[in-house]
Amino acid sequence: MRLMLLLLVFFFASQTMAADTLPASVKQALQAENVPLESVSVYVKRVDATQPSLSFQADTPRNPASVMKLVTAYAALDLLGPSYRWKTQFLALNKPEQGKLNGDLWVKGSGDPSISTQSLSEVASELRQKFNLEEICCGLSLDVSAYPAQNFDAATFDGKPYRAYNAPAEALMVNQQAMRLQFVAGEKVQVIAYPDWRGLVKKVDVKAVAGECNDWKSGLQINREGQTLHIRGSYPTTCGDKYLDVNWQHGADYFANVFYGAWEQAGGRWAKSDSPQFKLAAIPSSAVLLTEHTSPTLAEVVRDMNKTSNNVIARALYLNLSYLEEANQPASTLKSEQVVKRWLQSKRWSFDELVLENGAGLSRQERISAGHLGLLLDDAFHSPVMPELTASLPIYGLDGSLTRRKESLLFGRAHLKTGSLEGVRAIAGYLLDAKGRYWSVVFMANGAKAGDTKSAQDALLTWVYQQE
């Protein structure tokens, strides 16, 4: 009996030691790049197992970068359902008569991140056809109360407020807050804006220079004053044509200007055609619904979010959680954090280390442990929304942020969200091994050498793929 107990103790001890020890291939890859082992956390578990096969510093809270989008995506899919859609309403105090709308066109935003220039063109055409509408007097009244003004400075994260990934989510947005600039090389560098609207002024002072087309974006300075976009700096002629998405920074203003252009392109007129105006105002309860724009399903939006790691979509989705929970009361990031934590509690979990700032991972404050992230992955795999969540993740070697991964054994076999910030690298998701079994995998590195962990990530994924 005593011998049996000793054997059992030895067995469980050896299992623990094995689970807490990095595979040799992973350790070698980290050591080759001088990555400190204490900066890394790993969690690996077969989805049908009761215990992880590998849990290395998995309780340590770390910054996950964009891998935090997994938390936002799963919470949203579970709470709202994959078929959920945003609705943006277009209203008036009275229905149009004799081809005229005698008053403002009112628009109530709900934080829909899918609205594009094309969306607004379709709305404008529908208004023209449905009501035989030719003229609007006098402008736009925009209700942005769903997401009230946020104390958000796009420059605070990395000093680049013009970059599209730094845009905040707002109740009314278009093109995910981004304007696309095309740089055309020549003796004189040309800049073309998409969309380009009446009243937009581009002041371009970009010099054509020789040299390699490496980090060409670093030679540009872009800022905005009212309707004027200042573009300065240098642009290598070897780059040819390049595109850069920039943050317009003020969603309601951008939305209004794009709609003005869409309405005119649809053949509509403004009674004050020289300078249609917009104002921010709450929509009266007596307003009449004229039409509404309906977004794609949440499943489709989440796929766009995770495949491209879109921060604006993630911010909008995160805010939407609190907007809907409190009967259309104004959303806030604090309320949304509480929604997520209550959702976790409903699953009998307490992630004490969890810090959520914006739900997108574009943050220096957000934290989660590899173990808890792995727990979420395991739970999601056995949930009704597993197909939608898995389909949203980049596929190794095929698309999204994993397009350039080259390990042939893993090609097409891993669905993973990646995260990358200065001093942060992370991957998390699912891998199908050589025997046809699914595994939850999490790798997180924080520190000065985190950017040198790609080979260690691939070594870990290969090790999982080859498990007996």
- Checking if the pLDDT of 298 tops 70, the result is yes
Residue 50 pLDDT more than 80?
A: yes
Instruction: Find out whether 58 and 370 touch, Cβ atoms under 8 Å.
Output: yes
- What ranges do the domains of the chain cover? 22-83+299-465, 87-148+251-295, 164-247
> For the residues 154-178, what does the mean pLDDT come to?
88
Assigned superfamily of 87-148+251-295: D-Ala-D-Ala carboxypeptidase C, peptidase S13 (3.50.80.20)
Q: What is the pTM of this model?
A: 0.92
Split at pLDDT 50, 70, 90, the class of 274 is: low
Nearest to 363, CA basis, from 150, 57, 67: 67
pLDDT reading at 9 higher than 80:
no
pLDDT at residue 152, as a whole number: 65
How many Å apart are CA 111 and CA 113, to the nearest integer?
A: 6
What pLDDT score was predicted for residue 266? 95
Nearest in space to 70 (alpha carbons), one of 436, 349, 462, 354: 354
**Band of residue 13 on the pLDDT scale cut at 50, 70, 90:** very low
* pLDDT band at residue 271 under the 50/70/90 scheme: confident
Tokens representing residue 333 in the block:
């990031």
> Residue 16's pLDDT is what?
41
3-state secondary structure of 466: coil
Quick one: fold of 22-83+299-465? Beta-lactamase (3.40.710)
Mean pLDDT of 243-249: 89
How far is 327 from 146, CA to CA, in rounded Å?
A: 11
pLDDT at 250: 79
pLDDT in tens, 354-396: 999 999 999 999 999 999 999 999 999 999 999 999 999 999 9
**6 confidence band (pLDDT: 50, 70, 90):** very low
Provide the pLDDT for residue 248.
82
Query: What does the pLDDT read at residue 10?
Result: 40
Task: Return the top range by mean pLDDT from 75-79, 347-351, 406-410.
Answer: 75-79
| pLDDT-based confidence at residue 58 (cuts at 50, 70, 90) | very high
> Taking 50 as the threshold, does the pLDDT of residue 335 lie above it?
yes
- What is the per-residue pLDDT across 89-120, written as a single tens digit (0 to 9) for each? 999 999 999 999 999 999 999 999 999 999 99
pLDDT of residue 18: 53
Per-residue pLDDT at 35 exceeds 80: yes
Burial letters 98-122, b for 16+ CB under 10 A, else e:
eebbbbbbbbbbbbbbbbebebbbe
Rounded alpha-carbon distances, angstroms, from residue 223 to 246, 313, 418: 9, 23, 30
Confidence (pLDDT) at 151: 63
Average pLDDT over residues 168-190: 93
pLDDT of residue 4 exceeding 80: no
